[in-house]
Amino acid sequence: MESVFSRIFDLLRSLKLAIILIAILGLLAAAGGLIPQGAASDFYAAHYSGLLGRLIERLSFNTMFSSPLFLASTALFALNLTLCSFQRFTVQLSLPGKLRRHGPDILHIGLIILILGGTWSSRLHEETSFSLTIGAETSLPGGEMLRLEDFTFERYPDGRPKVWNSRISIDADGETVVTDYPLR
């Protein structure tokens, strides 16, 4: 009789679980693409029926890609990939050299690295928002000064916003940073 640990291990590394998780992640990502992200609470109440608007917020679909459901699904998929890769790689190592096939192992490891990279960048990024008028300056967290040199706003013929263009400069240690000459 199989141990409970062995049965859980088999479930966590199964292809069936991988397919289910890929489908769940695909559906969640599609919902995250269709539902505007990060808007104020009153936006969801105004644009969706009362129940749906509340459900979007309650399930954190308004911040889908950092929602507990999306992160848990991603973590479970990463665990599934890791266990599957480990199991498969150890079997491949026991085979004679001519029978080894490492293509799927490389693909799985690449996906694991992609998930880890996405997780790392989402957790370590910094985001700051400023409201400036033309000519105004503000101090950045590193001590540099950000200055809004110019600002233009274009609309489509029907009045919808088309593009916002901001020309900025950053003064760091007396050196001005401009487009195509980044701060080093």
**pLDDT tens-digit series, residues 61-108:** 999 998 999 999 999 999 999 999 888 888 887 888 777 787 888 888
Q: Give the domain ranges of the chain.
A: 4-124, 137-177
Give the amino acid at 27: L
What CA–CA distance (Å, rounded) separates 155 from 146?
Answer: 26
pLDDT band, residue 143 (cuts 50/70/90): confident
Q: In what order do the strands lie in the sheet with 137-139?
A: 137-139, 145-155, 161-172, 175-177
Partnered with residue 164 across adjacent β-strands are 153
- Residue 153 predicted with pLDDT over 80: yes
53 near 47, Cβ under 8 Å? yes
* Residue 28: Cβ within 10 Å count: 19
Residue count of the chain: 184
What CA–CA distance (Å, rounded) separates 153 from 93?
Answer: 60
What CA–CA distance (Å, rounded) separates 156 from 10?
Answer: 55
- Residue 10 predicted with pLDDT over 70: yes
**pLDDT tens-digit series, residues 127-138:** 777 888 999 999
pLDDT band, residue 172 (cuts 50/70/90): confident
